[in-house]
Amino acid sequence: MDLGWLDVLLLRAGYNSAVVVLGAALLGGAAGTIGAFVLLRKRILISDAISHATLPGVALAFLLCLAWTGEGRRLEWLLVGAGVSGALGVLLVQGIKDHTRLPEDSAIATVLSLFFGLGVVLLSYIQALPVGGQAGMGSFLLGAAATLNRDEAELIGFAALAVVGLALLLAKEFGLLCFDAGYAASRGWPVKRLDLLLLALLLTVVCIGLKTVGLILVVALVTMPPVAARFWTHRLGWMVALSGAIGALAAWVGAAASSVLPRLPTGGVIVLAAASLLIVSLILGPARGLPARLRRRALPCPAPKIS
Amino acid sequence: MVTLLKFRPRQRAIPADADSPLAVRGLTVAYGQEPVLQSVDFVAPEADLVAVVGPNGAGKSTFIKAVLGLQPRLAGEVSCFGRPVERQRALIGYVPQRSSVDWDFPASALDVVTMGLYGKIGWCRPVRARHRAEAREFLAQVGMADFAARQIGQLSGGQQQRVFLARALAQDARLYLMDEPFAGVDAATERAIVDVLRTLKSRGRTVLCVHHDLQTAPDYFEHLLLLSGRVVAAGPMATHFTTAALAEAYGVGVSLIGPAAVRAG
Amino acid sequence: MPGTEDFLMIDLPAILVAVLAALACALPGNFLVLRRQALMGDAMSHVVLPGIVAAYALTGDIAPLPMVLGALVAALVAVALIGGLQRVGGLEPGAAMGVVFTAMFAAGLVWLEQSGAGNAHLDVEHALYGNLEGTLWLGPASWGDLLRAESYRTLPTNLITLAGVTLAMLLLLGLFFKELAVTTFDPGLATGLGISERRVGLGLMAMVAVAAVAAFEAVGSIIVIAMFVCPPATARMLTDRLATQIWLSALFAALAGAGGYWLAAHLPLLLGSPNSLNAAGMVAVAAGAMQCLAMLLAPRYGVVVRAWRNGQGVTAS
């Protein structure tokens, strides 16, 4: 077993599994990159609302696709459905936050439960249908890299690359938005549109992550890498790069492990890998990890300098 | 994306006979049903230091934010060098009150100052070494050159304030709006800010500062905008900083001690 | 009367379980919404999974008591971890929560598959959707039987547990209403009054954990997530008084529980489809729909009303 796992990890187990593992790694890298900005914008939990909000869209897309083509499991259809209903979820969160007295966390929890409930109801309807192909729907909940085929993995990989490219292109603007949105607005930067673009990139990552990590755990894929990276550095550029790297590494290892052991839920393994990296970062990270804490405790607080 | 990319902050050539740096006409602002500012008229003189003074809740910060368009205006017009303020943002430097950013953010003092150059750098272009060198000079102007690499949360309050001042300098704006730059800073920072203000004036820039300290206002500024939900007094400090005007704005309890009292007398 | 028997055996216990689970979560949920911790319900409903798996691994059985205990321990561990990450790692609350609940859920998931319990006794989908439809009361066959004591010997255990937990929530809210209110509204004032904000906060978390675990066991995590936020948020749109908000939230929770179950059972029949829909999901949808209605139409704070009033205000001035 060990040898097989190593082979997959090192991409020696055939083209198919190499594509799946690489696709997952790119996905992890994109999630880490975007997650870094979303975390700094202090909106990381909106990804939880997005991921749960995709479920009714996936289910409806399955039904539409079934009615249209006679076969429900086309990843493109399902991803478009996920994207549309995830976007509706984001807009509803934003609408509740802006137009009612309820704060963002209540808005997120509301959208999450309403859409997830709707998705589960639709899934129960689908499961009772006398057609095939429903079995794959379960993988949207908990993720299963093993069920990905080559085309699907390539689609995920290219989408992830596009997300990373856009994020890097706009890194300066996103950094300004996250650090000081008020200042950015006063200088005439389109803060609202930048926010929407950031959420759109997050939505893309969540949608392509559904099949690999599952909608319940996809929030971890965007949260854990930047949190871990934050322990190592005080520089935004390094943090984004490191966060992407940590996400990619965790997804690589997790996807490789679960494609050899199909009973292992991919999402769970990837998240545990990311969590281990996070714990290591917490213990060793020089910028904000335990070493920095101990240093600060050992030194007396520097008195304010008066010159 | 197309509309996104339309915005390109850029310096515009200003005609020599342009209007005043800031002209506010009939500005009214309300929070919900509660009016905060009512029909404020104000014209800022060119190359002058203006103190925006008034009691708590007088609408000083609101005035600055409404001028910038960060706070919706119920009524009124704001123009900057003869054109609507929304189209002149590249000419305006804004130094917000200190509490508004996340001090844990992974950014160094130099990074923050570099943000002042983003408009000049433009969309999607990376920050280059020459931009950093330029930002370093602005840090030096506020006496913070030695702290360039320090994470902003690890600076003292006064040092942070100076970094944000350097960011405003980096913008090379024509009009500066500062929200209480002197609040809670140490003596060194206070001196550094005063130096920067004088430098800006000598370069022909106009600065509006929300200012709390009635004692120092006449020393640091030449022009006064005294607010209390409306304009109580506006004009040169020497003629308008009077006990009567202050009593009207603050109620009867105000008392001035020291040199300010002599001048206000 | 077979109709009556079916109702008493299948529908009545399921409705009671749904209503009680909704009440147990909605009552403490009021304070979660006001304290901006609404997502704690989501987190709690996920972290109980490793606790349940651990209980199974230790006892080799799916007896309810060890499972509830395991889930409770896991919930308390999660609360401690979230607090610890905020203090030691300097994380903001949202990020700390996101990290802890996903890590614990993932651990539970992987452990579940590894221990081999996944096929035999435990089922992740069951944990998510619950098994409301599977709650049976093999006692009364007619309305008259409800008056006889022996009918109640066969009452489903999770119904009894939930009734006890709901009662406990009511009692605790009654006893500590002042403390919860003041620490939620003004932590500074509370400290001045000698009320420990930290202790009350931990107490609230313990209540949330107990409610989540009891409800989770009976109805799955969807109802738990929805009930901690939707009924209190619906009530919050309608009133400014805390006590009124709590009573209203209880009313909406009960309505959602009963109405959602009824819809799941009867909506497909009305639409001419033979299969019933997932009841837990429908309860969540009902709660969310009620909240959307309240957000739009609430007399004072509703979006529609406020937009209309603003329109009036502009034309007046």
b/e sequence C244-254, b meaning 16+ C-beta within 10 Å = ebbebbbebbb
Q: For residue B211, what are the CA distances in angstroms to A96, A291, B53?
A: 37, 42, 5
Distance CA C211, CA A88 (A): 31
Architecture of domain B16-99+174-264: 3-Layer(aba) Sandwich (3.40)
The percentage of chain C sitting over the pLDDT mark of 90, rounded to a whole number, equals 44
The CATH number linked to A85 is 1.10.3470.10
The three-class DSSP label of residue C154 is: helix
- The owner of tokens 């959208």 is A111
Give ipTM to 2 decimals. 0.92
Interface touch B70/A186, C-beta < 8 Å: yes
Chain B residues in contact with C317 by the CB 8 A cut-off are: 74
β-strand partners of A280: none
- What would the mean pLDDT of C55-75 be, rounded to a whole number? 84
Rg (alpha carbons) of chain A, rounded to whole number: 20
CA dihedral in degrees (A175, A181, A182, A184; nearest 10)? 50
- pLDDT value at position B5? 46
- The owner of tokens 């992407």 is A244
Flag whether pLDDT at C63 surpasses 80.
no
Residues with Cβ within 8 Å of residue B37, at least 6 apart in sequence: B27, B28, B29, B59, B62, B63, B66, B227, B229, B230
Q: Please tell me if residue C174 touches chain B, with a CB cutoff of 8 Å.
A: no
Domain that holds residue A110: 2-294
Distance CA C90, CA B153 (A): 13
Closest to A174 in 3D by CA, of A196, A157, A159? A196
- pLDDT value at position B40? 92
Interface touch A263/C113, C-beta < 8 Å: yes
- pLDDT value at position A306? 37
Chain C: nearest CA to A102, how far in angstroms?
7
Query: In the structure encoding, which two tokens stand for residue A269, read together?
Result: 């393994």
Whether C33 contacts C229, CB under 8 Å: yes
The three-class DSSP label of residue C232 is: helix
- What would the mean pLDDT of A213-217 be, rounded to a whole number? 90
Closest to B97 in 3D by CA, of B73, B119, B67, B65? B65
Which tens digit of pLDDT belongs to each residue from C135-157? 778 777 778 777 777 777 778 88
Distance CA B20, CA A304 (A): 41
Flag whether pLDDT at A274 surpasses 80.
yes
Flag whether pLDDT at B6 surpasses 70.
no
Residue B78's Cβ-side half-sphere holds a number of Cα atoms within 13 Å equal to: 26
Residues with Cβ within 8 Å of residue A245, at least 6 apart in sequence: A29, A32
Whether B209 contacts B161, CB under 8 Å: no
Instruction: Please check whether residue A304 lies inside any domain of the structure.
Output: no
Q: Which has the minimum average pLDDT: A154-158, B1-5, B177-181?
A: B1-5
Distance CA C32, CA B63 (A): 36
Chains with at least 3 CB pairs less than 8 angstroms from chain C: A, B
Distance CA B173, CA B119 (A): 11
pLDDT-derived band at A211 (thresholds 50, 70, 90) equals: confident
Query: In the structure encoding, which two tokens stand for residue C303, read together?
Result: 């979006």
Write out residues 108-147 of C within 8 Å (CB-CB) of A.
Answer: 109-110, 113-114, 118, 124-125, 128-129
Q: Please tell me if residue B33 touches chain C, with a CB cutoff of 8 Å.
A: yes
- Nearest C-alpha in C relative to A92: C292
pLDDT-derived band at C185 (thresholds 50, 70, 90) equals: confident
Distance CA A87, CA A141 (A): 18
Instruction: Please check whether residue A78 lies inside any domain of the structure.
Output: yes
- pLDDT value at position A162? 97
**What does pLDDT average to over chain B?**
84
- pLDDT value at position B146? 94
The CATH number linked to C199 is 1.10.3470.10
Instruction: Please check whether residue C128 lies inside any domain of the structure.
Output: yes
Flag whether pLDDT at A220 surpasses 90.
yes
- pLDDT value at position C117? 57
Closest to B148 in 3D by CA, of B194, B118, B181, B110? B110
Q: Please tell me if residue B124 touches chain A, with a CB cutoff of 8 Å.
A: yes
What is the 3-state secondary structure of chain B? CHHHHHCCCCCCCCCCCCCCCEEEEEEEEEECCEEEEEEEEEEECCCCEEEEECCCCCCHHHHHHHHHCCCCCCEEEEEECCEEHHHHHHHEEEECCHHHCCCCCCCEHHHHHHHCCHHHHCCCCCCCHHHHHHHHHHHHHCCCHHHCCCEHHHCCHHHHHHHHHHHHHHHCCCEEEEECCCCCCCHHHHHHHHHHHHHHHHCCCEEEEECCCCCCHHHHCCEEEEECCCEEEEEEHHHHCCHHHHHHHHCCCCCCCCHHHHHHC
- What would the mean pLDDT of B108-120 be, rounded to a whole number? 92
Q: What is the residue extent of each domain of chain B?
A: 16-99+174-264
Q: Which carries the bigger pLDDT value, residue B69 or residue B145? A: B145
- pLDDT value at position B8? 45
Query: In the structure encoding, which two tokens stand for residue A279, read together?
Result: 């714990």
Q: Which of B86, B89, B111 sits opposite A236 (nearest CB)?
A: B111
- pLDDT value at position C317? 39
Chain C residues in contact with B104 by the CB 8 A cut-off are: 90
Distance CA C258, CA C279 (A): 10
pLDDT-derived band at A173 (thresholds 50, 70, 90) equals: very high
The three-class DSSP label of residue A267 is: helix
Which tens digit of pLDDT belongs to each residue from B125-180? 899 999 999 999 999 999 999 999 999 999 988 899 899 989 988 988 899 999 88
Chain A residues in contact with C114 by the CB 8 A cut-off are: 264
* Strands B75-80 vs B231-236: parallel, antiparallel or unpaired: unpaired
Flag whether pLDDT at A150 surpasses 90.
no
Residue type, C253: A
**What does pLDDT average to over chain C?**
86
pLDDT-derived band at B226 (thresholds 50, 70, 90) equals: very high
- What would the mean pLDDT of A220-248 be, rounded to a whole number? 96
- What would the mean pLDDT of A78-90 be, rounded to a whole number? 95
Instruction: Please check whether residue A301 lies inside any domain of the structure.
Output: no
- pLDDT value at position B94? 85
Instruction: Please check whether residue C31 lies inside any domain of the structure.
Output: yes
pLDDT-derived band at A137 (thresholds 50, 70, 90) equals: confident
**What does pLDDT average to over chain A?**
88
Distance CA C230, CA C26 (A): 8
pLDDT-derived band at A299 (thresholds 50, 70, 90) equals: low
Which tens digit of pLDDT belongs to each residue from C299-308? 988 999 888 8
Interface touch C95/A223, C-beta < 8 Å: yes
Flag whether pLDDT at A134 surpasses 70.
no
Rg (alpha carbons) of chain C, rounded to whole number: 21
- Nearest C-alpha in A relative to B127: A172
Whether C256 contacts C231, CB under 8 Å: yes
Q: Which has the minimum average pLDDT: A255-269, B5-19, B208-222?
A: B5-19
Distance CA B211, CA A111 (A): 44
* Strands B49-53 vs B206-210: parallel, antiparallel or unpaired: parallel
Q: Please tell me if residue B104 touches chain C, with a CB cutoff of 8 Å.
A: yes
Q: Which carries the bigger pLDDT value, residue C29 or residue B72? A: C29
Flag whether pLDDT at C2 surpasses 60.
no
Whether A197 contacts A170, CB under 8 Å: yes
Q: Give all strands of the β-sheet with B223-227 in edge-to-edge order.
A: B92-95, B175-179, B206-210, B49-53, B223-227, B231-236
Which tens digit of pLDDT belongs to each residue from B44-67? 998 999 999 999 888 899 999 999
Which tens digit of pLDDT belongs to each residue from B93-110? 888 776 568 888 999 999
Flag whether pLDDT at A284 surpasses 70.
yes
Which tens digit of pLDDT belongs to each residue from C216-238? 877 888 888 999 999 999 999 99
Residues with Cβ within 8 Å of residue A282, at least 6 apart in sequence: A228, A231, A289, A290, C88, C89
Residue type, C21: A
- pLDDT value at position C176? 93
Chain B residues in contact with C90 by the CB 8 A cut-off are: 104
Q: Which of C90, C313, C317 sits opposite B104 (nearest CB)?
A: C90
Flag whether pLDDT at A302 surpasses 50.
no
How many domains in chain C?
Answer: 1
Q: Which of B86, B94, B151 sits opposite A234 (nearest CB)?
A: B151
How many domains in chain A?
Answer: 1
- What would the mean pLDDT of A288-296 be, rounded to a whole number? 85
Closest to B50 in 3D by CA, of B30, B67, B75? B67
Q: Which has the minimum average pLDDT: A106-110, B29-33, B128-132?
A: B29-33
Write out residues 86-115 of C within 8 Å (CB-CB) of B.
Answer: 90
The three-class DSSP label of residue A158 is: helix
Q: Rounded to 5 degrees, what are φ and ψ at C271?
A: -85, 0
Chain A residues in contact with B4 by the CB 8 A cut-off are: 190, 193, 197
- What would the mean pLDDT of B231-258 be, rounded to a whole number? 81
Q: Please tell me if residue B34 touches chain C, with a CB cutoff of 8 Å.
A: no
Interface touch A124/C281, C-beta < 8 Å: yes
Residues with Cβ within 8 Å of residue B25, at least 6 apart in sequence: B41, B76, B77, B78
- Give the dihedral sign, CA A130/A132/A137/A139: positive
Query: In the structure encoding, which two tokens stand for residue C129, read together?
Result: 């959707």
- pLDDT value at position B256? 57
Query: In the structure encoding, which two tokens stand for residue B157, read together?
Result: 């309050």
Flag whether pLDDT at A74 surpasses 90.
no
- Nearest C-alpha in C relative to A266: C110
Q: Which carries the bigger pLDDT value, residue A142 or residue B219? A: B219
Q: For residue B62, what are the CA distances in angstroms to A281, B36, B39, B75, B227?
A: 43, 8, 13, 14, 11
Flag whether pLDDT at B15 surpasses 60.
no
Residue type, B221: F
